[in-house]
Amino acid sequence: MELKYIRSIYRFLRDTDIEEIEIEGKEGRIRIKRALSQGQVVSAVEEKKAVEREEEPEQRESRGKNIKVITSPMVGTFYRAPSPEAPPFVEIGSVVKQGQVLCIIEAMKIMNEVESEYGGRVVSILVENGQPVEYGEPLFHIEVGAG
């Protein structure tokens, strides 16, 4: 095997985050191992949490289509309607415009309306009415442009 060939492979590797590569030849076999960002060398606990919090099926799925996530802008209690008697702002399948109110987050007795950042169709509602939500918690999935 010529050094020239190895060198050319290495030149390619240099600008990547590839940590390990195996090649076999005659058009068979290749194995690439990447060193992903430092955040991923994290502890099992972290990984577990990451899975719990971020790798929810809905979200993973959402990456495929043009689906956006609306997250909570604050800590508070999630309400789907302006009052217990009123109908919910939106349901699954509702078509919403950008700026349309999706829900209310109550924080310190103040009702904060959460508006949609996108126009599209509500494909999932991720929190039950009346449940506490934390900052950044996903609330809705909107399929952008749909409807």
Partner 1 sequence: MFNKILIANRGEIAVRIIRACKEMGIKSVAVYSEADRYALHTRLADGAICIGPAKATESYLNISSLISAIEVIDAEAVHPGYGFLAESHAFAEVCEKCGIKFIGPTSEVMRLMGNKIQAKKEAEKVRIPVLPWSNRGLSDEKDAIEVSKKIGFPVLIKAASGGGGRGMKLVHTQASLANAFNMAKMESLSAFGDGEVFIERYCELPRHIEIQIVADEHGNVIHLGERECSIQRRHQKIIEESPSPVVDERLRDRMGEAAIKLAKAIGYTNVGTVEFLMDRERNFYFMEMNTRIQVEHPVTEMVTGIDLVKEQIRIATGERLNIRQKDVRFKGHCIECRVNAEDPKTFVPSPGRIKELCLPGGPGVRVDTAIYCNYTIPSYYDNLIAKVIVHADTRIDAIHRMIRALDEFHIEGVKTNIPLLVRILKDHDFIAGNIDIDFLSRFS
Residue 114: C-alpha distances to residues 15, 38, 76, 87, 133 (Å): 43, 34, 12, 16, 13
Q: Indicate whether 117 belongs to the interface with partner 1 (CB under 8 A).
A: no
Cβ contact 27:19 at 8 Å: no
Q: Looking only at residues 50 through 109 of this chain, which bind a copy of itself when binding is defined by CB under 8 A?
A: none
- Determine the Cα–Cα distance for residues 86 and 89; give it in Å rounded to an integer: 9
Determine which residue in the list 40, 66, 98, 129 makes contact with partner 1, applying CB under 8 A: 40
Per-residue contact track with a copy of itself, 1 to 40, x per CB under 8 A?
x-x-xxxxxx-xxx-xxxxxxxxxxxxxxxxxxxxx-xx-
Q: Indicate whether 128 belongs to the interface with partner 1 (CB under 8 A).
A: no
Residues that bind partner 1 (CB under 8 A): 38-46, 49, 53, 74-77, 107-108, 132-137
